[in-house]
């Protein structure tokens, strides 16, 4: 799901689908302003994500005698200073995952998932040249990821599809892209996408070619067929 979420931030997706009721595309100036306001600072979001599992690790390694509210609060500040470079605008102890037992030792999953998103995106661009509306992408993702469900390990799926073990390298490379080069690339993809007819102009109903079934054991709750 996070891979699909990432597409919404692409200028290619926005140029294709971010349109008003008349079919007019979102102005490039708005897309550019968003890139300028966010791209240089995305590393801070990465650091904020990393701080949560690092704090959890430090917390669970803390001797029981030190488990006091004051020490835990101080530990959170120490981790923020070390990982984020200073106190965060979102204090660690405000992250709900840390305060609910069912979500303990869970947050690092978001970090791993985002690592996989960037690594998968890099592989898709390298293999197919583009992602948005590319008919080769869906079958590739289905074969590599979605058809396996929980029958394969997450790390194995990423390794098999991208050809390399899961690392943060692709994420770092995306963060390192110069702002002007980022804008130039996104603008070219935006122009190409915006030149296409609006999706609403397609004749007839849109057929996703899919069937959805909600099943509880042997009971079929709903079926689109």
Whole-model pTM?
0.85
With cut-offs at 50, 70 and 90, classify the pLDDT of residue 47: very high
- pLDDT above 70: percentage of residues in the chain: 100
pLDDT at position 205 over 80: no
44: pLDDT strictly greater than 80: yes
Above 90 in pLDDT, residue 204? no
- At 112, is the pLDDT very low, low, confident or very high (cuts 50, 70, 90)? very high
- pLDDT value, residue 203: 74
| Mean pLDDT for all residues in the chain | 93
Q: What is the pLDDT of residue 101?
A: 82
pLDDT of residue 143: 95
Percent of the chain with pLDDT over 90: 82
Say if residue 185's pLDDT is above 90.
yes
Average pLDDT on 38-66 reads 95
* In CATH, 2-201 is 3.40.640.10: no
Using one digit for the tens of pLDDT, what is the confidence trace for 144-180? 999 998 899 999 999 999 999 999 999 999 999 999 9
Kindly state the tokens that stand for 179.
């702002």
Domain ranges of the chain: 2-201
Structure confidence at residue 198 (pLDDT): 82
């Amino acid at each position: 799901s996070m891979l699909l979420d990432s597409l919404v931030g692409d200028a290619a997706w926005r140029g294709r689908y971010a349109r008003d009721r008349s079919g007019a595309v979102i102005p490039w100036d708005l897309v550019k302003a968003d890139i300028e306001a966010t791209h240089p600072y995305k590393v801070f979001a990465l650091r904020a994500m990393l701080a949560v599992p690092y704090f959890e690790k430090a917390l669970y390694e803390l001797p029981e005698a030190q488990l006091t509210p004051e020490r835990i609060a101080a530990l959170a500040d120490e981790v923020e200073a070390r990982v984020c470079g200073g106190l965060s605008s979102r204090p660690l102890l405000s992250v709900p995952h840390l305060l609910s037992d069912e979500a303990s030792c869970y947050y690092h999953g978001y970090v791993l998932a985002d690592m996989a998103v960037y690594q998968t995106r890099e592989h898709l661009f390298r293999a197919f040249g583009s992602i948005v509306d590319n008919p080769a992408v869906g079958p590739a993702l289905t074969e590599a990821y979605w058809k396996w469900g929980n029958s394969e390990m997450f790390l194995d799926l990423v390794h098999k599809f991208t050809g390399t073990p899961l690392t943060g390298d692709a994420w770092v490379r995306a963060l390192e892209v110069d702002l002007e080069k980022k804008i130039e690339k996104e603008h070219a993809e935006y122009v190409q996408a915006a030149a296409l007819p609006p999706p609403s102009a397609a004749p007839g109903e849109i057929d996703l070619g899919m069937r959805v079934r909600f099943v509880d054991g042997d009971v079929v709750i709903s079926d689109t067929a």
